[in-house]
Amino acid sequence: MNIIKRITSVFIVLGLAIGLFAQPVSEFREGERVVFLGNSITDGGRYHSFIWLYYMTRFPNRNLRVLNAGIGGDTALNMYKRLDGDVFSKNPTMLVVTFGMNDSGYFEYNWDESEKFAEEKYQETYGNFKMMEERLKGLSGSKIVMMGGSPYDETAIIEDNTAFRGKNDVMQRIVALQKKSAEENNWEFLDLNGPMTEINRKFQANDPGFTICGPDRVHPESDGHMVMAYLFLKEQGLDGKAVADFEVNASGKSVVRSENCEISNVRGNKGNLSFDYLAYSLPYPLDTIPRGWNAKKSQADAMNYIPFMEEMNREMIKVSELEEGNYNLFIDGEKIGTWSADELNKGVNLAAETKTPQYQQALAILHLNELRWEIERNFRDYAWIQFNFFLEKGLLFANNRASLDAVDQEAENNPWLRMQRENYARMMHQPYRETREAEMNTIISTIYEINQPVKRKIALVKI
């Protein structure tokens, strides 16, 4: 099977999987505060940042906030314990809840009594979640979204990494528990596990080592996080919404149609044509650099597995009745590329052209959003040490000399604690935290200033 047929097959199965598992998730609105509660995949992951980047570029006037409330290693019980101090305190208007990876256990699946262990882990998760569920029921003014998390990949052939057989089965039982809770409480729901598992299995048919769940089978790289973002946005009904889509008739110098944009001042003839173009959105920029320790895959790599460009990143220009021949396309005087009259008549996706001024404008937003993400990660590391260390010591948010002494006493024998020591020594000081918070707010304000689309001049010049 060639690559095009294979990808098409995956897209069909993916659509079926989404239809089977998911219920609609509300679109984010102006002023929304969306909090993602989860484990390390949320804590150190980028899927929520990729989702916000979509809103930053597609809805430039819809100022909202997307907040990370993930902590590495967390189970539903850990999340329950920090609801007040780390989640509800963020004043969410929408709370996305996901758990299951750590709840379902790890090495115990290699034991003789793995089935017994699996049942015990599920029942333990059930009890812990029921405590959380009661708290979520009492949260007023916030929509709840239950999200089945990304899968543990049991089927990839990965050198020096033997899969824990049966672990993802327990995770899928947890997804079913989340879905049932959503139905009973009139909450929203989507599943990432099923569709991502289908993608893995389809591509593993030709490449047994393929995975979008990362080399440890647990933590997706940037490509996997982009798949997660795509699935979330699709559940919000955002597939099919164009960045812009328009047609200009060269012979009549007229605008045939325009979607999410304005076309004006059409001049020239069938051989040379120019017009003004104001889109109401920006194209979605894709990061081509693998991010994270020892990472090998980038956000852009996900385009090989999902129809994001076709469904969610279309900035289509169509020009009909041009004279036959090839044309150079210029935007604001800069040559973008060369297309034939036939290609322009069929339509060209400008969102795939990284040279355009509007793509470069969006790329600046991507880099600023990445900088914001890095600062937010400092706050998540600060939260980790508070709730995974100080809570048990009776030093939650004490942030005094006794706190630092407690860290130093145990850091030598605790590598995770040792890694967080330097960040905590800074973050324990309120003025430092306030300054970092101000940095994030400045970055966000800048994003919502520079994300406003600009009127561009497009010219087609026959070669």
What is the model's pLDDT at position 269? 84
To 10 degrees, the CA torsion angle through 273, 276, 280, 285? 60
**Averaged pLDDT score across all residues of the chain:** 94
Q: With 50 as the cut, is the pLDDT of residue 415 above it?
A: yes
Q: What is the pLDDT of residues 238-253, one digit of tens each?
A: 999 999 999 999 999 9
Looking at residue 220, its amino acid is P
Name every residue whose Cβ is closer than 8 Å to that of residue 396 and which is 6 or more positions away in sequence: 85, 386, 387, 390
Residues of the chain with CATH 2.60.40: 244-356+452-462
Q: In this prediction, what percent of the chain has a pLDDT beyond 70?
A: 95
**What would the CATH number be for the domain defined by 244-356+452-462?**
2.60.40
Q: Contact, 132 vs 163, CB < 8 A?
A: no
What pLDDT is stored for residue 19 in this prediction? 39
Q: What is the pLDDT of residue 113?
A: 87
Dump the DSSP string for 261-322.
EEEEEEEE-SSEEEEEEEESS-PPP---S--STT----GGGGGGTS-HHHHH--EEEEEESP
Tens of pLDDT along 272-301? 999 999 999 999 999 999 998 889 999 999
Confidence of residue 23 (pLDDT cuts 50, 70, 90): low
CA-angle at 137, arms to 133 and 140, nearest 5°: 140
pLDDT tens, position by position, 98-115: 999 999 999 989 888 889
Q: What is the pTM for the complete model shown?
A: 0.94
Tokens of 445: 């304000």
Task: State the pLDDT at residue 6.
Answer: 43
Alpha carbon separation from 350 to 72, 218, 244, 310 (Å, rounded): 39, 35, 9, 12
Average confidence (pLDDT) over 367-381? 98
Above pLDDT 90, what percent of the chain?
Answer: 92
With beta carbons less than 8 A apart as the criterion, state whether 216 and 257 touch.
no
pLDDT band at 270 (very low <50, low <70, confident <90, very high): confident
Assigned superfamily of 3-235: SGNH hydrolase (3.40.50.1110)
At residue 339, the pLDDT reads 98
Burial class (CB in 10 A: 0-12, 13-18, 19+), 77: middle
Please report, for residues 19, 69, 365, 384, 446, the alpha-carbon distance to residue 48 in angstroms, rounded to integers and kept in the order given.
22, 11, 15, 19, 19
In the chain, CATH 3.40.50.1110 sits at: 3-235
pLDDT in tens, 51-74: 999 999 999 999 999 999 999 999
What integer pLDDT is reported at residue 1 of this predicted model? 39
316 beta partners: 245, 349
